[in-house]
Structures are given as structure tokens and as C-alpha cells.
A and B are shown apart, each in its own frame.
Chain A
Amino acid sequence: MSRLRIAAILLAAAALGSCKLELTPDGMAKAYRGIKEARKDLTPENEYYVGRAVATNILARGNYKYRDAQGFQSGKLEGMTAYVNAVGSVIANASLSVVHEDDREAPLAGWHFVVLEDKTINAFAAPGGYVFVTSGAIEKAGSEDELAAILAHEVAHVRRGHALGSIKKSRFSGVFKEMLDSSVQLDAAALGKLTEVFDGAMDDMTDSLLVKGYSRDTEFEADKVGLEIMIKAGYDPKAFVTYLNKLKATQATGSGGFSATHPKATDRIAKLEAQVKKAPAITVPPARVARFKAVVLGVE
């Protein structure tokens, strides 16, 4: 065993403080497992805390107000927020039947959908199942099925761990998997190091969500998986394309909002066309049309 290898083990042991380490060759090998990919290596517990902080940062950085704050306090949602949460729950439950390799586990605190008071068209998903959609994006949708498309795209981002994947690998330099185990007692130095990592990870994720956006391929994947979820839930897959067509017109003149963080709607439509053609045709019942009009447009 090289001196460097022994030094790494001792460093890991010191960082782990009172954590029990197995001093067997296998235990030693485990003692300094680095974080290779946050999207795969972070535990659901880590994701829960990261998600809480990302959601809090989104609200703070955008200085957002959100609908039905009173309902969230009392636990009984009303109006548009209750409606969006009902559609979101249908989508989130269906997403568990759409399984891909390396999907994140179901969020520890469940799924929550928040309507932001903002006329720009946008939606964000923090890790851990906190989904934000602007009132502008909902009003742009002409139907419940189009709203379902927006939410399915965001749920797909969470299931695929896209926000976690935007954390720079260099952030985890000097951090070991064992330090992320919630049963491990950390000393002050290790705790300080992890807080520094957490802080940096927040910058990476909020920048990706609010400013820079994800890569084009990441967005295309969220569209593809989102469409699969919509189909599984029983929503009309054509509504995904209908909504993207509306965005195409807005994107041509718009700046900021989704325009700054998403690929061109025409490219997204082109990627989805074959998938939509293969999907079974859906007849949207009048009740679904009527309730969207009543809740979102205020038309009885």
C-alpha cells in the first residue's frame, strides 16, 4: 500500500471523527470512497436537505410571492394551488411507473407544487420534489393537459436528478461518501467542510435553475420522460406539443424566464414528434376542460 493511499485513509478516518471504521482491507478501501457523481452518490436524505435549501433560495432570489400561503400554513390548499397540486399528484404518482436506470428514489417529503405570482412564463423543480410554476405559465396553458405537460417536465427533472447533476464535481474534493451518511457523527472540521460544499452546491443549482439553464440534452431528456409520464397518467400527449407551440411564439420575442434557460421550442417539438405519434389517442372529457376554465380562467 502506497504512502499516499495510507495518508488518504488516515485523512478520511480523521474527517469521520467518531464514526466506526472497519480496519480490514475492505473497510480501508471503503473509508475513502470519493463522490464521483452527486446525481448518483447523494443519498435521499442528502437530497431532502439540499432540496429544502434550493427551494428556499429560489423563493429568495426571485423575491417570489406565492399563491395560497395561508393554505400552506393551515395544510388545506384552496383554489388554483389545490388544483395544481391535484394535477401534480396525478403526474407524480404516475412517474413511479415510468422507471429508468439511475432514477432518484421517491422524495422523502413527497411532492409539492407551488404557484408563483409572476406573469413571466417559467417553472422550476428543486431536488426533493419541490416544484414551482409561475401564474404566467399556467395562464399560458389552455387546458389541464397542457398544465400537466409543464408539471410532467418538472417532475422528470427531479426523477432524473438533473439539479443534483449540475453541482460541480470539484465541490466534492476531499469529501467522502461516508461523510454523507446521516448515521455518522462528524467532527467540527468535517462539518465545516460539508457546509462549504453545501453552500457551493446551492450556487451551482440555483444558477442552473434560474440563470444558465441545463444542457440541451438534459432538457430534451426531461421532455421525453415527462411525455412518458403524461401518457401513463392518462393525459393527452399532443398537449405537450400544443404548449411548446405557444412557447415558440413567445420565445421569438421574449427574454429571461424560460427563454433564457431552455432550448428553442422548435427543437424540442422536433425531438418529441415521433414519441407523440406513437402514443395512443386520448379523448379529453368535457369535465376536464370545464374545471380548468373554472379554476384558471374563472369561466363557469
Chain B
Amino acid sequence: MKSRISVVLMVVLVASLALAAPKAKSVVTVRVLSAKVMANPKFIGAAAGSVSRGQHLTFEEAKGDWYRVTGAYSGWIHKTNLTERQVTLSSKPGGEGAGAASRDEVELAGRGFTPQVEGQYREKNPNLDFTHVDAIEKTTIDPSELEAFMAEGKLGGGQ
């Protein structure tokens, strides 16, 4: 019986560690190419500003899936946009840098599986036009416009 309880406690402990938010004042890094720091913990409404992959922020507190951060901008950012690991991809094959990345991170950007392989693949397939996807992925939705769109359509669950 005791051993069963120990196993259950261990499972609960491991699960809670896996789901735990970072420690207050710890450094978190932006893992997506670009993300908005929002005034409130939701995807819509006013944004404090945009942050780029590799940029460091200070974690302050968590509210559900949203983290309040300070740094280049202070506000709320969805946890899926952040990582506690080191981020090394700071530019794209076209050579467009992430802006906020340090020199070391920019130097790392040319290495590794992905940018190099895409470069070779493009050389082997000159008929493929990557300018379309370059343009497509530049577009973003204005969170204030999205807020109005959702309010008009009475949408909003899970946002």
C-alpha cells in the first residue's frame, strides 16, 4: 500500500514539475520568429510590442497559459511562444536576421540542419519559387482588429 502511495506521489510530483511555470525573475527566450507582448493575458486587444526569436525576457508570473514578462516590453505572452532552452536559429535562408539576436546567436544561424538543407534543396530545385512562402509568412493579424472581429461575431471561447 505504502509503495503504491509513493508511486502515485512520484507521478504527481513529476507531472507538476513538467507543467511548472519558470521561477519568478528567471530568463525565458522567445522561440517563435515573432510574437506579440499583450497588454492583457489574451491574443486580442492592445499589444505592448513585438518580440523576435532569441530575444530574452524576464518571467514574472503565470496566469493560466499566459506569462507576464518584463524586458524589451512588459506585458503578457502566451507560454507556447517561449522556451527556457537556448535558441539558436536566428535567421532565415534569405539572410533576414531576427534583429534582437546577439552576435553569437547570429553566427550560429548559418549552421545546422535546416537553413543549410533548405539552401541545398533550393539549388537542386530551381523551379520552386520560395518567394511566395517568404511573403505569406510575413503577414500578421492586428490583435485589435481580431478583437473587433470576435466581438462582432460573438466568438471568444478559449481565447
Chain A residues in contact with chain B, CB under 8 A?
A: 44-46, 48-49, 52-53, 55-57, 59-60, 66, 69, 71-73, 75, 77, 85-86, 89-90, 93-94, 96-98, 105-110, 112, 114, 130, 144, 179-186, 191-192, 194-195, 198-199, 202, 231-235, 285, 287-288, 291
Contacts and interface: CB of A to CB of B under 8 A. Distances in A.
A94 B155 CA distance: 10
A94 B132 contact: no
Contacts of A75: 138-140
A9 B75 CA distance: 47
A109 B33 contact: yes
B32 A46 contact: no
Interface string B117-133: 11011001001111011
Q: What class of interface size applies to chain B in its complex with A?
A: 35 or more
A89 B117 contact: no
Interface of B: 31-34, 43, 53, 65, 78, 80-81, 86, 88-89, 108, 111-118, 120-121, 124, 127-130, 132-133, 135-141, 145-146, 149-150, 152-159
A45 B117 contact: no
A202 B150 CA distance: 37
B31 A86 contact: no
- Interface SS of chain B: helix, strand, loop or mixed? loop
A181 B141 contact: no
A195 B117 contact: yes
Given A53-B118, A93-B43, A94-B158, 4 more contacts: A45-B112, A106-B80, A108-B32, A130-B133
B155 A97 contact: no
Nearest to B80: A106
Contacts of B133: 52, 55-56, 59, 130
A108 B31 contact: yes
27 contacts: A48-B114, A49-B118, A53-B128, A56-B128, A56-B132, A57-B128, A66-B132, A69-B132, A72-B136, A72-B139, A75-B138, A75-B140, A85-B141, A90-B149, A97-B158, A108-B53, A110-B137, A182-B111, A186-B111, A186-B112, A195-B124, A198-B118, A199-B124, A202-B121, A234-B155, A234-B157, A234-B158
Nearest to B123: A195
A181 B113 contact: yes
A185 B116 CA distance: 10
B113 A234 contact: no
A130 B140 contact: no
B81 to A, nearest CB: 7
B34 A110 contact: yes
Nearest to B159: A93
Contact of B157 (A52, A94, A288): A94
A109 B155 contact: no
Nearest to A229: B158
Given A93-B158, A186-B116, A195-B121, A144 B136 contact: no
